[in-house]
Amino acid sequence: LVEVKLWAIDRQCFQTIMMRTGLIKHAEYMDFLKSVPSFQGLSEETLSKLADVMEETHYEDGEFIVRQGATGDTFFIISKGKVNVTQEDPANQETAHLRELGRGDWFGERALQGEDVRTANVVASDTVTCLVIDRDSFKHLISGLDDVSNKGYEDAELKA
């Protein structure tokens, strides 16, 4: 037998804590989204809806977040850390480094704008936190933004 101490809280207290935690996280997401230059043209209502649907995901150094050639149905915004974007040339099996992305940058939009397939690899270059948005939310809330539509981080012909 092992002696155990058990703490309990009632339902209302638990629900209050969970609601408060959710509100704090929502406020953090809102502040972060407002700090991203490309999203500053969005209304408060749209930003709030975005903050509601975002899921936080974590990646370790060297972990693939996106693999070239895989189908994709999510859009990523980096909230912490850095990633490397690379592209493999099927002809000679070589991998080219395209760029490094960090906090406030995003990727994954190409696969959501009709191409369906990821056109590059995105690999965590340290501990990375991304806020992830699914295809439907992306299309409904931000696919019309010029910055998102015109900036192809996964594209080989990147703008300087």
Is there a domain that residue 4 lies in?
A: no
Is there a domain that residue 6 lies in?
A: no
User: In the chain, how many domains are there?
Assistant: 1
Task: Tell me the residue range of the domain where 62 lies.
Answer: 11-158
Is there a domain that residue 120 lies in?
A: yes
Is there a domain that residue 52 lies in?
A: yes
Strand order in the sheet with 94-101: 64-66, 121-124, 83-89, 94-101
Q: How far apart are CA 71 and CA 12, in angstroms?
A: 43
6-24, pLDDT tens digit by residue? 999 999 999 999 999 989 9
CATH number, position 63:
2.60.120.10
Residues in the chain predicted with pLDDT less than 70, given as ranges, are: 111-115, 143-160
Please, what sign has the CA dihedral across residues 144, 147, 148, 152?
positive
70-83, pLDDT tens digit by residue? 888 888 999 999 99
